[in-house]
Amino acid sequence: MGHTGTLDSFAEGLLVVCVGPLTRLVSHITAFDKVYEAIIAFGTETDTLDPLGTIIKTAEKPKVWDFEKALQTFTGSLMQSPPSYSAIHVNGKRASDLARSGKDFSIPQRPITVYSATIIDMFLENDLVSYAHVKFSVSKGTYVRCLARDIGYACGSVAHLIGLKRTQVGSFSLENAVGFDLLESFSISSVIKREYSDKTLPRDTEKEAVLEAEVIQKCISMTPLLARECGFNPLNPDYISDFFNGKPLTPLFFLTEIPLHGAVAVFTEKNQFAGLIEKTSKRLQYVYVIPKDIALA
């Protein structure tokens, strides 16, 4: 089994898990665009940019107009400074481990894309924004914690996240996920009431039984929509045996045109995952092939 992107410890929502031969596709799915809902608290910033950290800055909360105007500037192609408390590796070590040990280090800015940023709700006090519920549609590698931090600065305040929910990864939706009905409501008022902890929660055997049953019901195989998202190419039925027997690849093996460069996942005519190929400047070559008895089972 292999997951396709961690969630922060205080966060919740969708996590796509690949099983068996499909674990080879983890890197493809990790690269999908994602959608989040975030609850931003204004007036304080923590060292981790989330509710588990220590407050390091305070400032006056922003006016509604200043917040709305600032948010409009956080769409499109942006450069983002990742958080110190993150899983990014710096000189072979996790940034979060270096931060906890008190060591100084820097993480280069990274390009990200924010496709949309939409206000769902706001909690106001004396015409100042105390909390905002925002929906973000973003590219791979975007830290919503950092968006909250930077939005706070942009509207003349400081901010951090107190709630984060991932609702979509590519065509995968949270509503179809195992355990969706067990999630608590996600709103400004409900998130404010929560108590976050780094401690491991006790096991709930009753919930585990429900989840186990849902895994069986909701486990899905590859779909045509997901195949298109990954850039998958269907095999020509006339050449299926040649593909599984490892014969030299030619464009005739496939029903659609192969991209110029990079790895491409291959499916049979019935959308059964068959393996990965790669097109270099000179030729098509195999990356790996799923055993025929598994792929065609």
In the annotation, is 8 catalytic? yes
What number of residues does the chain have? 297
Q: Whole-angstrom Cα distance, residue 52 to residue 152? A: 18
67-79 burial by CB neighbour count: b if 16+ within 10 A, else e? beebbeebbeebe
Place of tokens 């393996």: 275
In sequence order, the 6+-apart residues with CB closer than 8 A to the CB of 260 are 279
Residue in 8, 181, 204, 293 annotated catalytic: 8
Handedness of CA 136, 181, 204, 191 (dihedral sign): positive
Q: List strand residue ranges (DSSP E) for the chain, in order.
A: 2-3, 12-13, 17-18, 34-42, 44-46, 55-58, 76-80, 89-90, 93-94, 110-125, 128-138, 159-169, 172-173, 233-234, 262-267, 273-279, 284-289
- Our CA angle for 75, 86, 77, nearest 5°, is 15
Active site residues: 8
